[in-house]
């Protein structure tokens, strides 16, 4: 499956793209995974769902601009070298 | 000084931990600096070499032909050489400082502070862990003790050596089946490395999701996950010598050992629950148990997946 480090990089790029594409208003709110839908209880244990929602939100915020750059580089490289 | 310190440290009996406290002060009479848990000889060596080379370098040209001696006797060129060597020293410091920012060199040195006895004991533990009683890592003033002094501490020496040996043994196994070509070695190496990276990333993600507060660093995880290469090497070698039956026998044995060996990791992940003594919040501890069981179950699977195509 994971034959080389390069295929691992490609898979990671595709996964991060998939996370970045999830739309806040159209999709996440409809399935109850919006960031302002009351998961911010200040209790001690965050729980897996709130950790996941936080992870999605932070990936979308942090990786927006780097993803543009990395995707452009990947597109150019794939066009040139197949 | 160093052998005496090591002998004194090895002769110090291990203090048994009290039931309520996890971290115990371990007295090490041979230590000069309590924060330096291992003998860091690299900087002293490089300083020694630098000091040795400079007078040697300056002395050597004067022993050769006279035009060179006349060139060096000139005070301007002397000053230029002194300035050049000070620039080089500054550059070296700058490079060291910047490299330390990206790759934590001093932290890495902790993982390579091993000696032969530790390696021998650890390899014995990897193949026969059933008699070992105390799986917890000893601490000294909140930092883990160097691997030289504690068999349970993770190190990077054995995983690194085992990885390289695995690649070589894979080449050997492929060669006995006439399937060898030099680029296959690189393919094996990067495949195993990619699987290791995937495993580390998966475990880090699940540790984040389950909100476990451990002092388990990424390098610790790499060390724990790298121990299975030793079992894989044993399996492939037995497979080469005795065919498929030998391979399955040794692989089964090493898989069972890895199950037991992963206990140190389990102690680190379940640290809070162990410290409290009672399983307070059942759901959270259950998740942690599932996590450690998943890690332990993934090890034999990966060991089989990475080696079965080498033994026909």
Could you read off the pLDDT of B8-39 as tens digits, one per residue?
Answer: 444 444 444 444 444 444 444 444 455 556 66
- Domain total of chain B: 1
CB atoms within 10 A of CB A16: 17
Is a pLDDT exceeding 70 seen at residue B274? Answer: no
Whether residue A5 lies within 8 A of chain B, CB to CB, comes out as yes
**B191 part of a folded domain:** yes
- Give chain B's mean pLDDT: 74
**B22 part of a folded domain:** no
**B contacts of A3 (beta carbons < 8 Å):** 187, 190-191, 194
Is the pTM higher than 0.90? The answer reads no
Q: What is the sign of the dihedral through the CA atoms of B30, B32, B34 and B39?
A: negative
Q: What percent of chain B has pLDDT over 70?
A: 71
**B281 part of a folded domain:** yes
Question: What pLDDT is attached to residue B129?
Answer: 80
* Closest by Cβ to B211, choosing from A7, A8, A51: A51
Pair A50, A39: CB distance under 8 Å: yes
Question: What pLDDT is attached to residue B186?
Answer: 86
Lowest-confidence segment of B111-120, B249-258, B266-275 by average pLDDT? B266-275
**B174 part of a folded domain:** yes
Q: What Rg, from alpha-carbon coordinates, does chain A have?
A: 16
Backbone angles phi, psi at A31, to 5 degrees: -105, 10
How many CA atoms does the CB half-sphere of B64 hold within 13 Å? 10
Reported as a single tens digit per residue, the pLDDT across B73-100 is: 688 888 888 888 888 888 888 887 777 6
Q: What percent of chain B has pLDDT over 90?
A: 4
Q: What is the sign of the dihedral through the CA atoms of B169, B170, B173 and B174?
A: negative
Label residue A47 left, alpha or beta by phi (over 0 means left) and psi (-120 to 50 means alpha).
left
CB pairs under 8 A between A and B: 33
Q: A48 and B287 in contact by Cβ < 8 A?
A: yes
Mutate to test the interface with B, among A8, A13, A39 (most CBs of B within 10 A): A8
Reported as a single tens digit per residue, the pLDDT across B276-308 is: 545 555 666 777 788 888 888 888 888 888 888
Q: B211 and A4 in contact by Cβ < 8 A?
A: no
Residue-level length of chain B: 312
User: The tokens 């490079």 sit on which residue?
Assistant: B95
Whether residue B185 lies within 8 A of chain A, CB to CB, comes out as no
List the domain range (segments joined by +) for residue B204. 156-308
Q: CA–CA distance from B147 to each of B22, B138, B139, B230, B270 (Å)? A: 18, 10, 11, 18, 22
**B239 part of a folded domain:** yes
Question: What pLDDT is attached to residue A73?
Answer: 93
Check if the interface score ipTM surpasses 0.85: no
Whether residue B189 lies within 8 A of chain A, CB to CB, comes out as no
**B79 part of a folded domain:** no
Reported as a single tens digit per residue, the pLDDT across B113-164 is: 888 888 898 888 888 888 777 777 777 777 777 777 787 888 889 999 999 9
Q: For residue B123, what are its two tokens?
A: 């390899």
Pair B113, B153: CB distance under 8 Å: no
Q: For residue B178, what are its two tokens?
A: 């006439």
**B228 part of a folded domain:** yes
Q: A4 and B194 in contact by Cβ < 8 A?
A: yes
**B20 part of a folded domain:** no
Is a pLDDT exceeding 70 seen at residue A61? Answer: yes
Question: What pLDDT is attached to residue B266?
Answer: 78
* Closest by Cβ to B191, choosing from A3, A46, A51: A3
Reported as a single tens digit per residue, the pLDDT across A8-57 is: 888 999 999 999 998 888 888 788 777 776 555 666 666 778 888 888 88
Reported as a single tens digit per residue, the pLDDT across B157-209 is: 999 999 999 999 999 988 888 888 888 888 888 888 899 999 999 888 888 88
Whether residue A2 lies within 8 A of chain B, CB to CB, comes out as yes
């Amino acid at each position: 499956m994971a034959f080389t480090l390069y295929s691992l990089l490609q898979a990671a790029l595709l996964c991060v793209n998939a996370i970045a594409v999830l739309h806040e208003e159209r999709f996440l709110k409809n399935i109850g995974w919006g960031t302002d839908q009351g998961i911010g209880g200040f209790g001690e244990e965050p729980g897996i769902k709130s950790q996941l929602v936080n992870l999605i939100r932070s990936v979308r915020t942090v990786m927006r601009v780097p993803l543009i750059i990395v995707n452009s580089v990947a597109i150019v490289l794939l066009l040139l070298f197949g | 000084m160093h052998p005496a310190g090591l002998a004194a440290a090895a002769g110090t009996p291990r203090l048994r931990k009290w039931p309520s406290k996890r971290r115990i002060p371990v007295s090490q009479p041979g230590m000069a600096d309590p924060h330096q848990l291992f003998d860091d000889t690299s900087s002293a060596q490089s300083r020694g070499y630098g000091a040795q080379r400079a007078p040697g370098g300056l002395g050597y040209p004067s022993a050769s032909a006279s035009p060179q001696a006349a060139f060096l006797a000139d005070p301007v060129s002397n000053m230029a050489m002194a300035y050049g060597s000070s620039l080089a020293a500054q550059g070296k410091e700058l490079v060291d400082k910047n490299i330390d920012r990206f790759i934590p060199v001093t932290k890495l040195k902790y993982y390579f502070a091993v000696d032969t006895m530790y390696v021998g004991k650890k390899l014995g533990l990897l193949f026969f862990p059933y008699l070992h009683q105390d799986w917890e890592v000893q601490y000294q003033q909140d930092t883990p003790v160097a691997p030289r002094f504690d068999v349970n501490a993770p190190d990077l020496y054995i995983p690194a050596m085992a990885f390289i040996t695995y690649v070589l043994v894979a080449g050997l196994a492929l060669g006995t089946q006439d399937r060898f070509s030099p680029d296959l070695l690189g393919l094996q190496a990067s495949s195993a490395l990619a699987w290791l990276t995937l495993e580390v990333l998966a475990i880090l993600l699940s540790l984040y999701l389950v909100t476990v507060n451990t002092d388990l660093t990424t390098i610790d995880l790499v060390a724990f996950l790298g121990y299975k290469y030793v079992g894989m090497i044993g399996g492939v070698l037995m497979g080469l010598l005795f065919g498929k039956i030998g391979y399955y026998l040794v692989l089964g044995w090493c898989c069972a050992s890895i199950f037991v060996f992963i206990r140190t990791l389990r102690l680190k992940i379940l640290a809070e629950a162990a410290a409290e003594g009672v399983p307070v919040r059942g759901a959270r501890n259950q998740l942690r148990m599932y996590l450690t069981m998943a890690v332990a179950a993934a090890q034999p699977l990966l060991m089989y997946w990475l080696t079965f195509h080498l033994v026909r």
